[in-house]
Amino acid sequence: MRAYYFDKLGAGIDGLALGERRDPRPGPGEALVKIRARSLNYRDLRILTGLYPVPGRVGLVALSDGAGEVVALGEGVSRVAIGDRVAATYFPQWIEGRFSMAMAADQFGCTRDGVLAQLLAVSERALIKVPSHLSFEEAATLPCAALTAWSALLGPRPILPRETVLTIGTGGVALFALQFAKLFGARVVAITSTDAKAERLRQLGADEVVNYRSSPEWHLVVRERTGGRGVDHVVETGGLDTMPRSIAAAAEEGVVTLVAALGQGNIDARTFANPVIVRRVYVGSRTHFEAMNQAIAAHKLRPVIDRTFGFDEARRAYQHFEARAHIGKVVIAGD
């Protein structure tokens, strides 16, 4: 089979190579999946640049998020059948219950072969059947971005109808958070960098949009547009750079969920003058994934895809994603 693998790490996209690999065979308890589509996440760029907290391994196949169909089964498999349309969980060891950092050491496209290949042999325990109304391209966006947004809003204090959610940017997590928030009857305030992106966010259902370039003190605008109260939930995808303003934009006892600790911002004691709940989220478990898929299927929700590239265009897909001009997910389809 053909696969893109880490030829070297720390070199960015130049470290990604295309080569031939022996076709994998499913062992006991495993299924062989023909990968039909994959999607990119920021962690995939950070692995190539050597900045991801869990070091990647040279020689492994890239990417964590993909969808395909089961084409062969190993001995004893019962959770999936040949022909099932499936995706793999981000953390294959996290089935249910609380997360532990030990689970983070096992990730597709980082410490084990990922989905930027034609085939993947994987434990049946890590596989999830995807909603039938979604294409493979759409289903490939779910394992990381969608589940992270779901976990951010459905945590210890789940979102309620008529609450207000703040999203940041137009990446996959932010847009899934917008869609899920509207699904639950919440109001959404989104911040973004351009008028064109602002218009797209409104089309997707954002109730208020703030351009942070024209309004650098955007937290004050957010509070103004919520009648001075602030928002109930912040899905913090900006990281340390935007964290202080996100906290300032939150209502008292609002929940600020940090998705990625990116950037070089400084947070001091004054940041926490506003009494908020700050939590860190790590994607979600297989059980969370199954619950999310039930909601997606019931409401026929469709992910937002910015652009789809062919398998032979994978490096171009990485470059397009790295430019950060996308709105929604960037997908690599075909084989």
Do residue 112 and residue 194 come from a single domain?
no
Q: For residues 56 and 51, what is the distance between their CA atoms, to the nearest angstrom?
A: 10
Q: Is the pLDDT score of 110 beyond 80?
A: yes
- Residue the block writes with tokens 């983070």: 104
Of 87, 105, 95, the residue nearest 39 (C-alpha): 87
Among 102-106, 150-154, 266-270, 275-279, whose mean pLDDT is lowest?
A: 266-270
CA 323 to chain centre: 18
Q: Read off the pLDDT band of 265 (50, 70, 90).
A: low
- Residues 304 and 317 grouped into a single domain: yes
* Same domain for 185 and 214: yes
- What gap in Å lies between CA 64 and CA 111, rounded to an integer? 10
Range of the domain at 238: 156-280
Total domains in the chain come to 2
What is residue 335's predicted lDDT score, i.e. its pLDDT? 78
Give the CA distances from residue 262 to residues 130, 147, 210, 258, 314, in Å, rounded to whole numbers and listed in that order: 30, 19, 21, 10, 25
Please tell me the least confidently modeled range out of 115-129, 237-251, 320-334.
237-251
Instruction: Report how far Cα 125 is from the mean position of its chain's Cα atoms.
Output: 20
Rounded-to-integer distance, Cα 103 and Cα 94, Å: 6
Looking at residue 325, what is its pLDDT?
Answer: 87
The whole-model pTM stands at: 0.96
Are both 7 and 139 inside the same structural domain? yes
Residue 292 lies in a domain: yes
Distance from C-alpha of 134 to C-alpha of 63, rounded to nearest angstrom: 20
Average pLDDT, the chain: 95
User: Are 177 and 80 members of one domain?
Assistant: no
**Mean pLDDT in residue range 77-92:** 97
Q: Does residue 261 have a pLDDT over 90?
A: no
Q: 189 with 122, same domain? A: no
Query: Is residue 150 domain-resident?
Result: no
Q: Same domain for 275 and 288?
A: no
Q: Does 14 share its domain with 137? A: yes
CA 30/CA 53 separation, integer angstroms: 28
235 and 170 in a single domain? The answer is yes
pLDDT mean over 98-112? 95
pLDDT value for 264: 57
Mean pLDDT within 70-76? 98
The residue from 280, 302, 317 where one domain ends is 280
Distance CA 52, CA 192 (A): 25
* Residue 94 and residue 103 in contact, taking contact as beta carbons nearer than 8 Å: yes
Q: Return the closest-CA partner of residue 71 out of 27, 136, 120, 19.
A: 120
- For residues 64 and 116, state if they share a domain: yes
> What whole-number percentage of the chain has pLDDT above 70?
97
- Does 151 fall in a domain? no
Helix 42-49 with 314-322: angle, nearest 10 deg: 100
**pLDDT at site 63:** 98
Query: Which CATH number is 46's domain given?
Result: 3.90.180.10
Task: Compute the average pLDDT of residues 317-322.
Answer: 97
Q: Say which CATH number the domain at 202 has.
A: 3.40.50.720
10: left (phi over 0), alpha (psi -120 to 50) or beta: left
- Residues 173, 131, single domain; the answer is no
Q: Considering the domain boundaries, does residue 101 fall inside one?
A: yes
For residue 307, give the nearest of 179, 178, 141 by alpha carbon.
141
The mean per-residue pLDDT over the stretch 275-282 comes to 92
Residue 267 has pLDDT above 70, yes or no: no
- Reading phi first (left if > 0) and then psi (alpha if -120 to 50, else beta), residue 303 is in beta
**Chosen domain end from 238, 259, 280:** 280
- The answer as to whether 118 is a domain residue is yes
Say what angle helices 286-299 and 172-183 make with each other, to 10 degrees.
Answer: 60
How high is the pLDDT of residue 273? 75
- pLDDT tier, 266 (very low <50, low <70, confident <90, very high otherwise): low
180 lies in the same domain as 274: yes
